[in-house]
Structure 1
Amino acid sequence: MTDRRLAVQAWESLFRAQHEVFEDIRSDFDGTDLTQAEYDVLLTVTRAPQMTARLRDVTGNMLISQPSVSRLVERMVTRGLLTKCADPEDGRGSLVTATENGAVVFRRIAASHGRSIAQRMARLDNDELAQLHALTAKLRGGA
């Protein structure tokens, strides 16, 4: 049986670490062409085949509500970072695709952001990083 007190302590430590890391990397987006939320949308979209993802998959990867994601995507379409069309396999859904400009902007910021993350995570060695990855996947219900 899990020790309840230890479980709460571990949760609080994980929560505080996540919050502190987010605060550290938030500045990665200062003075760039993307907000952190826009970057997250493009991260999901550019990793998908043909840089096209279902809007519901984008929403599933975000930490904001579905209506907020929809408004964000519409603003990104207006800015020329994404296109949006009906999903031919789901009449109620939409597909979003990164434009060439959106992909270029994303890649430019991703290189810098990736270095920032790697620098922050360098406090852990490779074995610890692998263990952290496995533990967080387990907490999320992944294999």
Structure 2
Amino acid sequence: MSEPRWLDDGQQRAWRSLLEGFSLLSAELERGLRTRFGIGMGEYEVLVRLSERPDHSMRMAELANGTVMSRSRLTHVVGRMERRGLLERTATAEDGRGVLCSMTEAGWELLKAAAPYHVEDVRENLIDLIDAEDTQALARAMGAVAKHMRGQR
């Protein structure tokens, strides 16, 4: 192996700040959702993804590709949400082989209740702490990371 490309001091600060900030932010957002609504970030993400569809339904394979969860973790999360009456799974009408995940009325009501609190937590703990230029830079930087990482799957 060739010599590692060590991080310089500025890169090291940026990397460690990202790790610490992301860990603390994730924990706070998770705590807010769990305390108030009994769901975590993974469940919230599933509800949001489904809410963005006109029929609040999506194939499980497509849902897995759109989230940052593995397929097995998504199956576990959806199963837990299904037992709570927030989602339901059915065979797809087109070919009967795929599985369609749909948000129930209870899931929709939970999302409508949770969203205002969650967005306020995001604002209070991230958006309102940085200026618009930093928000745009963050979006560009993390967009590049996501694009790179999704290309490696």
Task: Compute the displacement of 1:8 (Å).
Answer: 5.9
Deviates more, 1:97-106 or 1:57-66: 57-66
Alignment of 1:48-63 (within 5 A): 48-63=53-68
Number of residue pairs the alignment of both structures matches: 140
User: In structure 1, what is the Cα distance between the partners aligned to 2:6 and 2:76?
Assistant: 40
Q: Does 1:112 align with 2:114?
A: no
In the superposition, the TM-score normalised over structure 1's length comes to 0.82
User: In structure 1, what is the Cα distance between the partners aligned to 2:139 and 2:73?
Assistant: 28
CA RMSD of aligned residues (A): 2.4
Task: Compute the displacement of 1:107 (Å).
Answer: 1.4
Describe the shift of the 1:47–1:71 C-alpha distance in structure 2 as closer, same or farther (beyond 3 A): same
Deviates more, 1:4-13 or 1:30-39: 4-13
Task: Compute the displacement of 1:14 (Å).
Answer: 2.2
In the superposition, the TM-score normalised over structure 2's length comes to 0.77
Deviates more, 1:58-67 or 1:75-84: 58-67
Structure showing greater radius of gyration is 2
Deviates more, 1:100-109 or 1:45-54: 45-54
Q: Which residue in 1 is equivalent to 2:138?
A: 132
Alignment of 1:1-143 (within 5 A): 4-6=6-8, 9=12, 10-29=14-33, 30-89=35-94, 91-121=96-126, 122-141=128-147
User: In structure 1, what is the Cα distance between the partners aligned to 2:96 and 2:11?
Assistant: 44
Percent identical pairs in the alignment equals 24
Describe the shift of the 1:33–1:19 C-alpha distance in structure 2 as closer, same or farther (beyond 3 A): closer
Task: Compute the displacement of 1:125 (Å).
Answer: 1.0
User: In structure 2, what is the Cα distance between the partners aligned to 1:16 and 1:132?
Assistant: 15
1:69 counterpart letter in structure 2: L
Q: Which runs of 5+ in 1 are unaligned?
A: none
User: In structure 1, what is the Cα distance between the partners aligned to 2:21 and 2:63?
Assistant: 25
1:28 counterpart letter in structure 2: G
SS at match of 1:49: coil
